């Protein structure tokens, strides 16, 4: 049975995920409110992503010595202040600043929250615990974003941020009531922790995380125009298609956590192999409505089946600096988000067209698979999985 504090972490991740993504559905309203163009309003998405990537190491250092419960509550306070500032922002510039402030809490919360989640359960349930926390993020896409968008369109975009603020207050209160106080922060020197992150066995899973995000966002950033121009879906049909995609995210996230607690390496390898296959399949199914829609939940499931296993891989590889590594890996995901959007945009600018994007996503996923297969996956403590050529068993390691 998984630990009681985990739902409070999931509730917080739901609020954080909603505030990150709901702005995409409110860009016209925000643009009209401040008298800017929709592309200018779209920079609020990029600003948030870069805030996560830049803020992750800064906040990780600032909160390194704090007890983990205290750190989580401090981050939730930053999140609440940021969302309240978004709701009250009198200008576009101040809204951008508020978004960046909010983003600074994002990477560190998920990074520290993942380490806390693993400390609350037996070793054989660690990835499931992380997956349960990330379920809040997937449900934000399925429920939070559609309802937040509808609310903002009905009574004004500021109401959405007030609603997210209220959700965050409830989540913070749940964390205060349920997360134990005895989980310490960093017990070693920060210089030593940063040195440990320079090791290839720590950098490799972070690079794989970046490639996973690039593979996803090269395609997903442009999924609406792709489905409308390639698959022939109406705007209303795209909304339902994305809901189906979100359901796939949620189910894949839970399945990946359960499978990875049995075989971490096999789950990651199988996930990337399946992702390559589905991306190639989508290159063909995206040409018609129903085949495209039926492919979307498979894609979503495989993408998020990898999230918690990759996070655990990083934490295990950096066992002497788990909090810092876990937080930086969240920054790596968001760096991949921005890079994927840029890569997809560059392909479209060069004239390749929407039909080429799934092929690019498949190629990036194949690169991530090759990097995963290049060495050991796991903690390196005798429980890690090692990939060896057929007929060559891995030598026994001393215990």
pLDDT tens digits, one per residue of 106-137: 988 988 888 888 888 888 888 998 999 989 98
Confidence label for 372 from pLDDT (cuts 50, 70 and 90)? very high
- Residue-level pLDDT at 221: 78
In this predicted structure, the answer to whether residue 197 has a pLDDT above a threshold of 80 is: no
Averaged pLDDT for residues 190-205? 76
Q: Per residue in 297-306, pLDDT tens?
A: 999 999 999 9
- Residue-level pLDDT at 108: 87
Confidence label for 190 from pLDDT (cuts 50, 70 and 90)? low
Is 168 in contact with 80 (CB distance < 8 Å)?
A: yes
Q: Per residue in 260-270, pLDDT tens?
A: 999 999 999 99
Domain with CATH 1.20.1250.20 in the chain: 1-185, 188-399
Q: Per residue in 251-260, pLDDT tens?
A: 999 999 999 9
- Residue-level pLDDT at 191: 60
More confident residue, 390 or 36: 36
In this predicted structure, the answer to whether residue 147 has a pLDDT above a threshold of 70 is: yes
Paired tokens of 36 = 């800017």
Is it true that domain 1-185 has CATH number 1.20.1250.20?
A: yes
Among 74-88, 121-135, 382-396, the range scoring the smallest mean pLDDT is 382-396
Confidence label for 217 from pLDDT (cuts 50, 70 and 90)? confident
Q: Per residue in 173-185, pLDDT tens?
A: 999 999 988 887 7
| Most confident of the ranges 134-138, 187-191, 266-270, 349-353 | 266-270
pTM over 0.85? The answer is no
Residues 6+ apart with CB under 8 A from 79: 12, 15, 16, 19, 102, 105, 106, 109, 168
The correct CATH number of 188-399 out of 1.20.1250.20, 3.20.20.210, 3.50.50.60, 3.40.718.10 is 1.20.1250.20
- The percent of residues in the chain predicted with pLDDT above 70, rounded, is 91
């Amino acid at each position: 049975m998984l630990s009681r504090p985990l739902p409070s972490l999931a509730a917080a991740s739901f609020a954080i995920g909603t505030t990150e993504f709901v702005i995409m559905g409110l860009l016209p309203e925000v643009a009209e409110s401040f008298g800017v163009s929709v592309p200018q309003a779209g920079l609020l998405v990029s600003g948030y992503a870069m805030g996560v990537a830049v803020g992750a190491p800064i906040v990780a250092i600032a909160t390194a010595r704090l007890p983990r419960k205290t750190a989580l509550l401090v981050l939730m306070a930053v999140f609440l202040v940021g969302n309240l500032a978004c709701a009250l922002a009198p200008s576009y510039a101040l809204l951008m600043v508020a978004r960046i402030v909010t983003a600074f809490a994002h990477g560190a919360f998920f990074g520290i929250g993942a380490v806390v989640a693993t400390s609350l359960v037996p070793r054989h349930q660690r990835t499931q615990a992380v997956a349960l926390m990330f379920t809040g993020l997937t449900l934000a896409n399925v429920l939070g974003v559609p309802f937040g968008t509808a609310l903002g369109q009905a009574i004004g975009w500021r109401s959405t941020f007030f609603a997210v603020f209220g959700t965050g207050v409830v989540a913070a209160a749940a964390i205060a009531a349920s997360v134990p106080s005895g989980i310490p922060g960093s017990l070693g020197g920060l210089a030593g922790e940063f040195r440990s992150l320079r090791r290839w066995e720590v950098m490799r899973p972070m690079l794989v995380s970046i490639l996973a995000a690039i593979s996803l966002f090269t395609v997903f950033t442009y999924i609406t125009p792709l489905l409308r121009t390639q698959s022939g879906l109406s705007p209303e049909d795209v909304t339902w298609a994305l809901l189906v995609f979100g359901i796939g995210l949620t189910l894949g996230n839970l399945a990946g956590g359960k499978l990875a607690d049995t075989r971490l390496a096999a789950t990651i390898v199988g996930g990337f192999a399946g992702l390559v296959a589905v991306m190639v399949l989508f290159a063909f199914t995206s040409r018609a409505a129903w085949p495209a829609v039926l492919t979307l939940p498979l894609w979503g499931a495989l993408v998020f089946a990898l999230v918690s296993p990759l996070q655990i891989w990083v934490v295990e590889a950096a066992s002497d600096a788990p909090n810092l590594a876990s937080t930086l890996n969240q920054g790596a995901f968001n760096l991949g988000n921005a890079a994927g959007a840029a890569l997809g945009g560059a392909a479209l600018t060069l004239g390749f067209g929407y039909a080429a994007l799934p092929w690019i996503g498949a190629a990036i996923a194949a690169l991530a698979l090759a990097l995963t297969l290049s060495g050991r996956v796991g903690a390196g403590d005798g429980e890690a999985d090692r990939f060896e050529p057929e007929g060559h068993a891995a030598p026994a390691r001393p215990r």
